[in-house]
Amino acid sequence: MDAMAIVSIFVLAVFVGFEVVSKVSSTLHTPLMSGANAIHGVILVGAIIVADHSKTTLELSLSVVAIILATINMIGGFVVTDRMLEMFKGNKKGADK
């Protein structure tokens, strides 16, 4: 991919990232952080790609560890965020904000 395309994607993603969370109440800071945390668990995709490339035992074992860690990050992250948000069910005060 050419450098300009990558820079464009990067800059646009930065602005989108800034924009979507700029007005969040402090009540949601923890779930939002946890949710963002789960999203970067998508490094799992990267871990799978390198595992696919792996030719030596060393590479494969490191990739396997990376996949395990990334899966914990991603799946665990989404599950724990959901549990947090479950507590907000029927939150009337929050809903009118």
Partner 1 sequence: MYDLIGLAAGVCFILALKGLSHPKTARRGNLIGALGATIATLVVFAYNAPLNNLGWIIGAIAVGSLIGVPAARKVQMTQMPQLVALFNGVGGGAAALVAIVEYLALGDGASTAVVIFTVFTVVVGCVSFSGSIITFLKLQELMTTRPVVFPGGRFVIAATLAAVLGVSGWVVVELGTTPLLILAALSLLFGVLFVLPVGGADVPIVISLLNAFTGLTVAASGYVLDSTLLIIAGTLVGASGTILTRLMADAMGRSLFGTLFGAFTAKPQDASAAGEERPVRSGSPDDVAILLNYARRVVIVPGFGLAVAQAQHTVRELADLMISKGIDVAYGIHPVAGRMPGHMNVLLAEANVPYDQLAEMDEVNPTFGQTDVAIVIGANDVVNPAAQTTPGCPIYGMPILEVSNAANVIFLKRSMRPGFAGIENELLYDPKTMLLFGDAKASLTKVVSALKAL
| 4 near partner 1, judged by CB under 8 A | no
Q: Which of residues 66-95 bind partner 1 (CB under 8 A)?
A: 66-89, 91-95
Q: Which residue has the tokens 């800071």?
A: 29
Report the run of H or E that residue 30 belongs to, with start and end.
Answer: helix 29-39
| 2 near partner 1, judged by CB under 8 A | no
4 vs 87, beta carbon nearer partner 1:
87
Q: Which residues of 68-83 are buried (b: 16+ CB within 10 A; e: fewer)?
A: eebeebbeebbeebee
Provide the minimum distance between the beta carbon of 4 and partner 1 in the complex, in angstroms, as a whole number. 13
Report the run of H or E that residue 34 belongs to, with start and end.
Answer: helix 29-39
| 18 near partner 1, judged by CB under 8 A | yes
Site string for partner 1, 24-53 (x = CB under 8 A): xxxxxxxxxxxxxxxxxxxxxxxxxxxxxx
